[in-house]
Amino acid sequence: MRDLVDRFWLKHAQLQQAIESSNDALVDSLDRELDDLLHAIHEIEADGFDDARIQFEFFTALTKVEAQDFACVTRNSELLSQLADRYFDEDAISRGRYGMRLPEIFQPNPLSQETYLNEAILDAMPDRIAVVTTDYRYLYSNPANAAYLDQRPMDLIGRHIVEFVGIQRFELRVKEKLDACFAGETVDYTFTKTSGNRTVVVRCRMTPCYAGPGKLIGAILILQETADRRRSIAA
């Protein structure tokens, strides 16, 4: 994995030089090589946390480097979302296809016997991700989720989610689904919302989160937004 990433960045630097020197033939050649390397890095199925971390960090860094190119940002965000589906999707986990497990995000500290949240992967995700405890309070929020709520990640810790979803929505929908997740179920549902003149579909996935064998501490929430295609077609 690391060798492919290093090779990509080397070719990427060569591409910038070729562009500056207006060497069109070399630019075309390097473009093709970079596409192949990008595909290869994305398609590797990580056996554990280290390789998965390299993948997420690579695509996050690439998105920053190509921030001025909207098409590239869109592509890289989609690839990051696909990695999340690959490693964090409950169906893939139940099939035993990958070595990653959502509960492994929480890992025991052998020196203190306490638990800590490994945020390296989750902080890099473009989707909104949060961990909610069994008393419905935020234990963790990645920057994307905090920004959506107009908060800093650290300011969300310990606050009840009813502050952000409202009492009616909490009682009618959110609480029931969280309780099912706390009971051991994986909950996956969608809902629509309107922001200005734009309607979006939100997919919410809730997965039980454990700090150790049999020790449930809450639920991991992953929220992904897409445009409402029905509205687009009707327009």
Written as one letter, the residue type at 75 is R
> Same domain for 70 and 117?
no
Q: 198 by DSSP, 3-state: which?
A: strand
CATH number, domain of 120, equals 3.30.450.20
> Same domain for 114 and 227?
yes
Count up the domains in the chain and report the number.
2
> Same domain for 135 and 66?
no
Which of 182, 60, 168 lies closest to 122 in space, CA to CA?
60
Sign of CA pseudo-dihedral 133, 138, 142, 144 = positive
DSSP-derived letter for residue 163 is H
Question: What is the domain extent for residue 224?
Answer: 105-234
Each residue's pLDDT tens digit, 65-78: 887 777 787 787 78
What is the gyration radius of the CA atoms in the chain, in angstroms?
20
Predicted pLDDT of residue 180: 95
Predicted pLDDT of residue 150: 92
Q: Which tokens sit at 20?
A: 């500056």
Q: Is residue 99 part of a domain?
A: no
Q: Is residue 150 part of a domain?
A: yes
Q: Is residue 157 part of a domain?
A: yes
> Same domain for 122 and 223?
yes
State the pTM of this model: 0.52
| H-helix segments, the chain | 2-20, 24-43, 49-65, 70-88, 90-94, 120-124, 143-148, 153-156, 162-165, 167-169, 175-182, 229-234
Compute the distance between CA of residue 72 and CA of residue 49 in angstroms, rounded to an integer.
Answer: 26
Compute the distance between CA of residue 5 and CA of residue 38 in angstroms, rounded to an integer.
Answer: 9
Q: Which tokens sit at 82?
A: 């696909």
Torsion-angle region of 228 (φ positive above 0: left; ψ -120 to 50: alpha; else: beta): beta
Residues written for the chain: 235
Q: Is residue 100 part of a domain?
A: no
Each residue's pLDDT tens digit, 40-99: 999 888 776 677 778 888 887 887 788 777 778 778 778 877 877 777 655 544 444 443
Q: Which tokens sit at 72?
A: 């590239």
Which of 175, 173, 217 lies closest to 193 in space, CA to CA?
173
State the DSSP H helix or E strand holding residue 206, giving kind and residue range, or none if neither.
strand 198-212
Any idea what the Cα angle at residue 166 is, between residues 203 and 222, rounded to 5°?
25
Compute the distance between CA of residue 153 and CA of residue 130 in angstroms, rounded to an integer.
Answer: 10
| Half-sphere exposure for 205 (CA within 13 Å, toward CB) | 15
Q: Is the pLDDT of residue 235 over 60?
A: no
> Same domain for 159 and 69?
no
Q: Is residue 140 part of a domain?
A: yes
The more confidently predicted of residues 4 and 195 is 4
Each residue's pLDDT tens digit, 116-172: 345 666 777 788 989 898 999 998 888 889 999 999 888 888 889 999 999 998 999
> Same domain for 80 and 119?
no
Compute the distance between CA of residue 38 and CA of residue 140 in angstroms, rounded to an integer.
Answer: 31
Q: Is residue 189 part of a domain?
A: yes
Percent of the residues in the chain that have a pLDDT greater than 90, as a whole number: 16
Q: Is residue 93 part of a domain?
A: no
> Same domain for 177 and 212?
yes
> Same domain for 25 and 78?
yes
